[in-house]
Structures are given as C-alpha cells and as structure tokens.
Amino acid sequence: MITIYLKQFNKIVRNADVKLFDELGYDDILWIDLLTPSIKEQKAVENFMEINLQTQQQVEEIESSSKYSETENAIICNSNFFMPYTETFAIEPVSFIIAEGVLVSVRNAEFRTFTEAAKRLQMNYRAYATGYHVLVSILEVRIDYDADLVEALAKNIAALSKEVNISEQIGRETLQRISHLQENTMLIRENIFDRQRVLSGIQRSERFPNDIYPKLSLMIKDVNSLINHADFSFQRLDYIQDAALGLINIEQNEIVKIFSVAAVIFMPATLVASIYGMNFHAMPELDWVYTFPDGTTVPLGYLFAIGLMILFSAGTIWFFRYKKWL
C-alpha cells in the first residue's frame, strides 16, 4: 500500500494513486509512505525519485554505516521499530530515504508511530516544510513511545521487586518472569541505542535544515536518558534475581538442615543399636530379666537398650535447642 502526502491548497492531502507521479514534481510531495508495497508501487517510486529502494537484507544490517549513510543524491536511514505484543516484542526494520527534500519510508508492519506522525503532519502542516522535518517528527514520536515502554517496564520491575520481597516462597515462575523482563529490557535498550546511532548520524550531517539541529540535540539527550534508565532497570533486575536466588538457597538450606538434624538426633540411637547388634558373649545386659510374682518375665536388657536410645536422642535434641540450632 502506498500513501502520498501532497502539499496542495495550503494543506496536506493524502493520495494513493501512483499515476500522480506523472503529473507532480518534487516540490508538490512531502512524504511517500510504503506499507508492504507491491512490486509495481516500488518501481513507480524508484522511477519517480530516481533512487533504488533498499532490500530487506540491507535494512536489517546492524553495522553503523547501514543505520545512516549519505550518497550524492540521497540520505538513507534504517531504524528498528518495536511491535509490542502481550508479553514480548517483535522488531521490524524500517527504511527511510530522503531525496530532493521528499521522504520515502518503507515498512512491512503498521505502527502507531506513523499514524501519530501523519496526524501531527495534517494538524500543523506549516511545521513540516520538507521531508527532513517529517523524518525528525517520526523519530520524535518513536522516542516518546520508547519512553512509554521504558516506563511500563519499570513499573513491572517495581511490582516484581515488591512481590519477591514479601513472598515467603520463590518458585520457578518468578525466575522465569525475571528472565523474561531481562530479555525485554535488553531488547528495549538495543532498540533505543539504534535510535541514538541514527540521530547521531543526522546531527553530524550538514544537509539537514538548520532549524532541525536544536531539536535534534534535545532528542539525543532524551535518548541518552532512556538508555540510562534501561541500564538501571537491568541492574535492578540483576539485584532482584540475586535476591530471589538467595531466598531459594535459604529454603534449600532449611530443608538440608532438617535432614541433617534428624540424622544427628538418631545417630546415638543407631550407635547403641549397632553395639548391641554385634552379638558379643560378654553382654550381661542381655541376661537381665525381671520376674513378676505370677511368673511373667520382662527382658530388662531390651528395655535398657531402648532407654539408652531415647536418652541419647533426647540429649541431642536438648543440646541443639541450647545452642539455638533448632
């Protein structure tokens, strides 16, 4: 789909007819927006602008030179835009080319950024004299949305931190949430850093109108602040992860402690049982017997061994409590 933003009758007019290229000049067009364009639409734009649109591979390259470059007749910018979903993000690259003061944007997804930029363009068209101004406006809107993403992420991290602090038990689900937020934070930071490289390239250029550079300086400051905020969020997630793992270790240590105490408590009883299980002949306790008046006999040696086991186990428990280990 193609959308052509024309300067007519002191206002901005939208049109989607590529036949207009045969009737209009560069001064009549401000912005050509290509959304998942057909081959016919791409050829029409290339013939009219006398440029070559970038391939998908060129747009997705991560080298600095691919983010911003200038040729004799055109300025080329490539930037990644977020597609937010319920719990994650998808990254879609967008290509911008400025030639003869006309902005050409090529994308394969619908973004609120472009909708908002088009709305601003039609509401205050006098502020957008050239395609250079439109490009900076699109990036400005995108930075505002990036700030919203960073703020929303910070709120999620704060809520998770509070949950970890008051939780008595940390499960796998909590660790997965931390990992998920870490991944999203890294994606957002990389996306904002991508924006920083594009803005730095524009700022170094001498081909943009002079009235754009003061706004660029403010935008770069905003981007730097967002990067710092994203770094802080990532550091906070590291702290939350360390705290969660610490709580898990404490829980595991408590379990190990219970088993260890149980083993130590029954160790004397086990020792007594082992001694009397040796079947030595010189064990007079085995012959201890109490006889009741009716002739019933009770093996005292057996009771003596049981008593020793109970006494030693009770003594061990008392010692542990005395040392406040229990």
Instruction: Out of 249, 268, 289, pick the residue that ends a domain.
Output: 249
pLDDT exceeds cutoff 60 at 89? yes
68 and 199 part of one domain: yes
pLDDT exceeds cutoff 70 at 18? yes
- Quick one: pLDDT at residue 64? 52
Q: What is the pLDDT of residues 267-290, one digit of tens each?
A: 877 877 777 777 666 677 667 777
Q: Tell me, yes or no, if the pTM score tops 0.95.
A: no
Q: How confident is the model at residue 114 (pLDDT cuts 50, 70, 90)?
A: confident
Q: What is the pLDDT of residues 221-257, one digit of tens each?
A: 998 988 888 888 888 888 887 777 777 777 777 778 7
141 and 224 part of one domain: yes
pLDDT exceeds cutoff 80 at 318? yes
Q: Which two tokens stand for residue 123?
A: 């509401």
255 and 235 part of one domain: no
Strand partners, 34: 2, 106
pLDDT exceeds cutoff 70 at 65? no
Q: Which of 34-43, 67-76, 297-306 has the lowest mean pLDDT?
A: 297-306
Residue 138 CA from chain centroid, whole number: 24
22 and 118 part of one domain: yes
22 and 35 part of one domain: yes
Q: How confident is the model at residue 124 (pLDDT cuts 50, 70, 90)?
A: confident
Structural domain range at position 260: 250-322
Mean pLDDT to the nearest integer, 160-164 = 80
159 and 52 part of one domain: yes
243 and 255 part of one domain: no
Residues comprising the chain, all counted: 326
Instruction: Out of 185, 219, 249, pick the residue that ends a domain.
Output: 249
Instruction: Out of 220, 249, 278, pick the residue that ends a domain.
Output: 249
The amino acid at 118: A
- The fraction of the chain above a pLDDT of 90, given in percent, is 0
The Cα–Cα gap between 89 and 65 comes to 25
Q: Nearest Cα to 20, choosing from 8, 11, 10?
A: 8
The amino acid at 29: I
What is the total count of domains within the chain? 2
- Quick one: pLDDT at residue 73? 85
pLDDT exceeds cutoff 70 at 159? yes
CATH of the domain at 259: 1.20.58
212 and 292 part of one domain: no
196 and 278 part of one domain: no
203 and 129 part of one domain: yes
The amino acid at 288: W
The 3-class secondary structure across the chain, one letter per residue, is CEEEEEEECCEEEEECCHHHHHCCCHHHEEEEEEECCCHHHHHHHHHHHCCCCCCHHHHHCCCHHHHEEECCCCEEEEEEEEEECCCCEEEEEEEEEEECCEEEEEECCCCHHHHHHHHHHHHCHHHCCCHHHHHHHHHHHHHHHHHHHHHHHHHHHHHHHHHHHHCCCCCHHHHHHHHHHHHHHHHHHHHHHHHHHHHHHHHHCCCCCHHHHHHHHHHHHHHHHHHHHHHHHHHHHHHHHHHHHHHHHHHHHHHHHHHHHHHHHHHHHHHHHHHHCCCCCCCHHHHCEEECCCCCEEEHHHHHHHHHHHHHHHHHHHHHHHCCCC
41 and 137 part of one domain: yes
Q: Nearest Cα to 196, choosing from 312, 64, 85?
A: 64
Mean pLDDT to the nearest integer, 2-20 = 79
**What mean pLDDT, rounded, does the chain reach?**
81
The amino acid at 74: A
The Cα–Cα gap between 237 and 181 comes to 8
pLDDT exceeds cutoff 70 at 66? no
- Quick one: pLDDT at residue 266? 79
- Quick one: pLDDT at residue 86? 63
CATH of the domain at 56: 3.30.460.20
132 and 223 part of one domain: yes
pLDDT exceeds cutoff 70 at 6? yes
